[in-house]
């Protein structure tokens, strides 16, 4: 079963007592203390972790940064990439705070002086004079104006952040903290300022194990235990609030994870690095299935979305995402060993999706809208054919500043290469490139639908299929790239065992000097087998309820029959059927398999006498009213339909400029004599 989620956070102080993990005081930073705070200390009512916290009443009749809760840790923390301090703070009177601002290097506040600082800031330093002060709250930010406990993460090693600095901030050995409300009205009553547990670390939830599968709910349950309160993955109204890192499996241990109908909000994290919010899959044995899981990065009203948008890195394992959405999120990377099926997902205002050699990642029926980076999808592998053709039925919309697909590896094929663009739609990109024309050395187009660098001697053809849009192409290489538009020609009403040939008009049959075949198929929806005593097609009884393939012969599933279809069985020899006009007709009753087709009970058939049980006849099983779809370029065609025992049908000079249906009706050839 899935194991209990764990974390890599270490506790700096539980804040359960004034000496838990160090020394709590209200005068640690003298510049933010006027000595008039009415009360300070342990609080057994205003807490979020365990059953105690530290709180204080602010100085009476003082504005600005005149009171604070300070803490000096027994053990200093050095920090490192994405190793941060995690805090819980609460201010009971949000309306008394200054509004939040996202500015750096603001004027330092002080007693009766709000300076340029936001309504709540946290200082992290090596002592009380050398520190960084991080803006984390205000009257209009985070949970405010409603109020409540807020979890924040601050990285003391970053150089650019909202807030200000004092003295010369250190780069390690951080052990001194201040939690400072910056007020425009002094609430001189009640324990207005409160702080609870302090932790340090990357902030990962680590989740491993097998069946029964892990869920988001299980992670939140562990996160939100009163004795934990990690602040990484909290349950909130309508879903979950996330920041930090979710490790779904590790390099050593896999995870089975399945969840659906979940909304996840990625928290504001303005005081950390851009890749702080991160979800990764590391183990090849992991299997992650999400259905209607929705990620949204948020920002408080009036502020830009911060840089910690939330990145996804799938480096191994099996992934299935269906009907999921990603809004304002970060980078999403599928590495080379990933088996990922991304179906009907929406990427809205996100950073790019990267297929980093992941030839087993497919994206079908997905929507990419207004990507915030220069490309919606980046393909890094030189196997561009496989990876592009794994993108089907997708829609790309640009705001005029990004490409849909960038093929970042320079390719140099020496022979022609055809790449299918299967029903891919492009909107808002540069004007479509011309069809059937060499595209080379175009220079840079930041809004081209597809970007490629091709330096080979072979021509790369992008074939637009199934009603897709014609893209604009940027080819900065010296090789030739062309776009060809292919359209669906659907020939319907066919009898099985029919051959269809489509020739460019004019062909030899319509006055041309030669015939150029554009498409065709040898046999439509049928199997034919010459039976032997041990390998044969048979009726199961005189009253037929099934047609069977015995001894490992013909695969009946290749006829593509489904319940309710009509099929025919024909014996092909002179003694039983010299003109091939005799057949038995059945209705499929159930689900066909490779070895058996269930049919409605039928008596009085023509061939029961020779096909019940082992026989040595040549037998055809064929679908009635079959269809065959061909992909062709816009043009004019001669279509030929042949079937032994039926009259040929020739459709001359058929104009195909959009998806086209060609219905036909085949009739038997009464003068045909089977030479068998």
Residue 406, pLDDT score: 97
Task: Please give the pLDDT value at position 60.
Answer: 83
| DSSP state at residue 594 | S
What DSSP state is assigned to residue 509? G
Average pLDDT, the chain: 94
Q: Mind listing the pLDDT tens digit for each residue in 503-552?
A: 999 999 899 999 999 999 999 999 999 999 999 999 999 999 999 999 99
Q: What is the pTM of this model?
A: 0.81
Q: Are 353 and 376 in contact (CB under 8 A)?
A: yes
The region of weakest confidence among 101-105, 499-503, 529-533, 657-661 is 657-661
**What average pLDDT score do residues 431-454 get?**
94
CA distance 481 to 459: 6
pLDDT of 338 = 83
- Closest of 163, 110, 159 to residue 138, by C-alpha: 163
**334 cis-preceded (ω within 30 degrees of 0):** no
Q: Can you give the residue ranges of every domain in the chain?
A: 10-201, 204-487, 490-663
Cα–Cα distance between 11 and 4 in angstroms, integer? 19
Provide the Cα torsion 533, 538, 541, 542; round to 10°. Answer: -100
Concatenate the DSSP letters of all residues of 562-624 into one string. Answer: -TT-EEEEEE-STTT-TTS---EEEEB-S---SSEEEEEEE-S-SSHHHHBSS---EEEEEEE
Percent of the chain surpassing pLDDT 70: 99
d(CA 4, CA 228): 13
Instruction: Provide CB contacts within 8 A for 445, sequence distance 6+.
Output: 403, 430, 451, 472, 474
pLDDT at res. 675: 61
Which residues lie across from 364 on neighbouring strands?
343, 392
* Segment 42-100, tens digit of pLDDT: 999 999 999 999 999 998 888 999 999 999 999 999 988 899 999 999 999 999 999 99
pLDDT tens profile 14-25:
999 999 999 999
Over residues 475-515, the pLDDT tens digits come to: 999 999 999 988 889 999 999 999 999 999 999 989 999 99
Query: What's the topology of domain 10-201?
Result: Jelly Rolls (2.60.120)
The predicted pLDDT at position 336 comes to 78
User: What's the whole-number mean pLDDT along residues 594-604?
Assistant: 94
525-556 burial, b for 16+ CB within 10 Å, e for fewer? bbbbbebeeeebbbbbeeebebbbbbbebbeb
**How confident is the model over 114-162, as pLDDT tens digits?**
999 999 999 999 999 999 999 999 999 999 999 999 999 999 999 999 9
Residue 335 CA neighbour count, 13 Å, CB half:
12
Report the pLDDT value the prediction gives residue 19, as an integer from 0 to 100: 96
Burial readout 372-405 (b: 16 or more C-beta within 10 A, e: otherwise): bbebbbbbbbeebbebbbbbbbbbbbbeeebbbb
| 186 vs 38: CA distance, rounded Å | 12
- 8 A C-beta contact, residue 104 and residue 160: yes
pLDDT band at 37, cuts 50/70/90?
A: low
d(CA 627, CA 647): 18
pLDDT given for residue 668 in this prediction: 86
Burial class (CB in 10 A: 0-12, 13-18, 19+), 20: buried
- State the pLDDT at residue 83: 95
**How confident is the model over 331-359, as pLDDT tens digits?**
999 997 789 999 999 999 999 999 987 77
Q: What is the DSSP string of 62-102?
A: --BS---EEEEEEEEE--BTTBEEEEEEEES-GGGBPPP--
Residue 477's pLDDT is 95
The whole-number pLDDT of residue 39 equals 86
- Residue 634 is predicted with a pLDDT of 82
Task: Specify the pLDDT at position 663.
Answer: 96
**Which of helix, strand or coil describes residue 411?**
strand
SS3 472: coil
């Amino acid at each position: 079963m899935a194991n209990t989620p764990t974390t890599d956070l270490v506790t700096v102080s539980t804040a359960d007592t004034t000496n838990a993990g160090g020394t709590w005081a209200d005068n640690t930073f003298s510049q933010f203390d006027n000595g008039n705070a009415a009360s300070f200390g342990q609080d057994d009512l205003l807490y979020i972790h365990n059953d105690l916290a530290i709180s204080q009443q602010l100085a009476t009749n003082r504005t600005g940064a005149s009171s604070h809760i300070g803490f000096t840790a027994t053990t200093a923390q050095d920090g490192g990439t994405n190793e941060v301090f995690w805090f819980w703070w609460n201010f009971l009177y949000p309306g008394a705070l200054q509004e939040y601002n996202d500015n750096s290097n603001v004027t330092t506040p002080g007693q009766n002086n709000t300076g340029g600082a936001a309504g709540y800031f946290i200082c992290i330093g090596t002592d009380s004079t050398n520190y960084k002060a991080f803006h984390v709250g205000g009257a209009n930010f985070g949970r405010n104006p409603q109020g409540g406990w807020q979890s924040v993460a601050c990285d003391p090693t970053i150089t650019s952040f909202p807030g200000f600095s004092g003295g010369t901030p250190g780069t390690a050995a951080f052990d001194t903290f201040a939690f400072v409300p910056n007020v425009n009205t002094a609430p001189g009553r009640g324990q207005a300022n409160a702080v609870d547990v302090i932790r340090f670390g990357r902030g990962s939830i680590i989740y491993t194990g097998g069946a029964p599968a892990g869920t988001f709910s299980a992670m939140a349950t562990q996160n939100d235990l009163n004795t934990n309160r990690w602040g990484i993955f909290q349950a909130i109204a309508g879903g979950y609030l996330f920041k930090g890192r979710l490790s779904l499996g590790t390099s050593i241990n896999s995870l089975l994870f399945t969840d659906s109908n979940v909304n996840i909000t990625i928290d504001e994290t303005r005081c950390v690095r851009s890749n702080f919010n991160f979800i990764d899959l590391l183990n090849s044995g992991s299997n992650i299935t999400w259905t209607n899981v929705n990620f949204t990065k948020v920002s408080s009203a009036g502020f830009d979305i911060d840089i910690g948008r939330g990145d996804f890195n799938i480096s191994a394992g099996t992934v299935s995402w269906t009907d999921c959405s990603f809004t304002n999120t970060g980078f999403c990377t599928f590495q080379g060993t990933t088996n990922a099926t991304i179906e009907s997902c929406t990427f809205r205002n996100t950073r790019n999706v990267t297929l980093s050699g992941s030839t087993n990642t497919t994206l079908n029926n997905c929507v990419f809208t207004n990507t915030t980076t220069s490309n919606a999808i980046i393909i890094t592998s030189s196997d561009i054919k496989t990876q592009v053709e794994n993108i089907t039925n997708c829609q790309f919309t640009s705001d005029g500043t990004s490409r849909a697909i960038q093929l970042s590896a320079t390719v140099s094929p020496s022979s022609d290469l055809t790449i299918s663009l299967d029903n891919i739609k492009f909107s808002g990109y540069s004007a479509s490139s011309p069809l059937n024309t060499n595209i080379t050395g175009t220079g840079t187009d930041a809004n081209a639908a597809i970007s490629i660098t091709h330096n080979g001697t072979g021509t790369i053809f992008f074939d637009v299929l199934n009603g897709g849009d014609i893209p604009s192409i940027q080819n900065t290489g010296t090789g030739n790239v062309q776009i060809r538009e292919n359209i669906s020609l659907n020939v319907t009403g066919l009898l099985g065992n029919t051959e269809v040939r489509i020739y460019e008009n004019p062909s030899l049959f319509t006055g041309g000097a030669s015939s150029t075949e554009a498409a065709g198929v040898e046999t439509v929806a049928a199997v034919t087998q010459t039976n032997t005593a041990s390998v044969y097609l048979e009726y199961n009884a005189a009253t037929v309820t099934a047609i069977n393939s015995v001894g490992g012969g013909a695969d009946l599933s290749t006829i593509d029959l489904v319940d309710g279809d009509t099929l025919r069985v024909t014996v092909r020899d002179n003694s039983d059927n010299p003109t091939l006009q005799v057949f038995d007709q059945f209705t499929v009753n159930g689900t066909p398999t490779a070895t058996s087709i269930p049919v409605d009970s039928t008596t009085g058939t023509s061939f029961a006498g020779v096909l019940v049980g082992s026989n040595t006849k040549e037998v055809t099983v064929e679908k009635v009213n079959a269809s065959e779809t061909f992909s062709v370029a816009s043009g004019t065609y001669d279509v030929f339909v042949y079937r032994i025992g039926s009259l040929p049908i020739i459709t001359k000079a058929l104009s195909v400029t959009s998806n086209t249906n060609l219905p036909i009706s085949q009739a038997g050839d009464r003068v045909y004599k089977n030479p068998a």
